[in-house]
């Protein structure tokens, strides 16, 4: 596996990016790897999917918007993790890059610049795998320099809707412009004949579909309760393990 593998998880709002991010992170931890998960949502919830309760999630310190990490920055990697990194019960270290706590707080561009700085050189010293759970949409790929410009691969999550697959196609185009050559698209929340729907729509729009994850009552229940998914039983784990294997295969060491 490539040392310091960096994965961006992207897609339209509501498709299940945070769930997929958290499960991928736990899959890599299960392989004995050091995993850092970066939550870039301005309404962050990734830590809850990794086992923290609401109070602990709200207490996670947010990375300063002007922070530049690394040899040329104003914060060393050890200092970064000691100050802002929070260990979760499942073994993943979580960082919160963005949070909007009040109306009229301004744009989040600075937070995205911090994430770009992290992915540029800093995290490899403390992480075998970094997973970035991106905010909804494609703006993060259009910012100056691109928040995910240093990602090795993008996992584009889609639900069974034409709109989410159109968003995936637009994401692939922007990623290619940024020089992110590897993009894989995963269908999520599939019911009945949705697998065929994903296949037809992705083929029409030029999106590389690599798998389809069925809708899961266990995932819905965990989301409703604001907790992490149980570690055994649900069929979804087999799909996540295959996705993790595919990512490792697609990014050469």
Pairwise CA distance, residues 42 & 59, whole Å: 15
- Provide the CATH number for the domain around residue 169: 3.40.50.300
Pairwise CA distance, residues 47 & 28, whole Å: 16
Type and span of the H or E element at 239: helix 236-250
* Angular region, 248: left φ>0, alpha ψ -120 to 50, beta rest: alpha
Going by the DSSP 8-state scheme, the letter that residue 130 receives in this structure is E
- Tokens 């919830």 correspond to 45
Give residue 31's domain range. Answer: 5-250
Per-residue pLDDT of the chain (253 residues; tens, 9 = 90+): 888 899 999 999 899 999 999 999 999 999 999 999 999 877 778 999 999 999 999 999 888 766 655 555 566 777 778 888 999 999 999 998 865 443 333 444 444 555 556 655 557 778 899 999 987 766 656 554 456 777 889 999 999 999 999 999 999 988 888 888 899 999 999 998 999 999 999 999 999 999 999 999 889 898 888 888 887 666 889 999 999 999 999 998 8
Domain count for the chain: 1
For the chain, how big is the Rg over CA atoms in Å? 17
135-166: burial string, b at 16+ Cβ within 10 Å, e else? bbebebbeeeebbbbbbbbbbbbbbbbeebbe
Pairwise CA distance, residues 66 & 77, whole Å: 15
pTM: 0.87
């Amino acid at each position: 596996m490539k040392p310091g593998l960096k994965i961006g998880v992207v897609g339209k709002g509501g498709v299940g990016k945070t769930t997929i991010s958290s499960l991928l992170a736990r899959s890599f931890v299960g392989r004995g790897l050091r995993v850092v998960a970066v939550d870039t949502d301005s309404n962050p919830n990734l830590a809850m999917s990794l086992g923290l309760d609401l109070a602990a999630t709200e207490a996670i310190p947010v990375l300063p918007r002007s922070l530049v990490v690394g040899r040329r920055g104003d914060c060393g990697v050890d200092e970064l993790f000691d100050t802002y990194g929070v260990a979760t019960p499942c073994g993943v270290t979580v960082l919160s890059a963005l949070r909007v706590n009040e109306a009229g707080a301004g744009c989040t561009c600075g937070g995205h610049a911090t994430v770009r700085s992290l992915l540029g050189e800093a995290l490899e010293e403390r992480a075998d795998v970094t997973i970035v759970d991106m905010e909804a949409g494609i703006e993060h790929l259009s910012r100056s320099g691109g928040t995910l410009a240093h990602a090795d691969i993008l996992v584009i999550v889609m639900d069974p809707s034409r709109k989410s697959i159109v968003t995936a196609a637009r994401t692939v185009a922007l990623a290619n412009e940024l020089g992110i050559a590897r993009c894989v698209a995963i269908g999520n929340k599939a019911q009945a004949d949705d697998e065929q729907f994903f296949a037809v729509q992705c083929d029409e729009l030029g999106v590389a579909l690599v798998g389809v994850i069925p809708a899961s009552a266990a995932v819905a229940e965990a989301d409703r309760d604001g907790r992490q998914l149980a570690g055994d039983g649900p069929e979804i784990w087999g799909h996540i393990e295959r996705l993790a294997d595919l990512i490792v295969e697609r990014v050469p060491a």
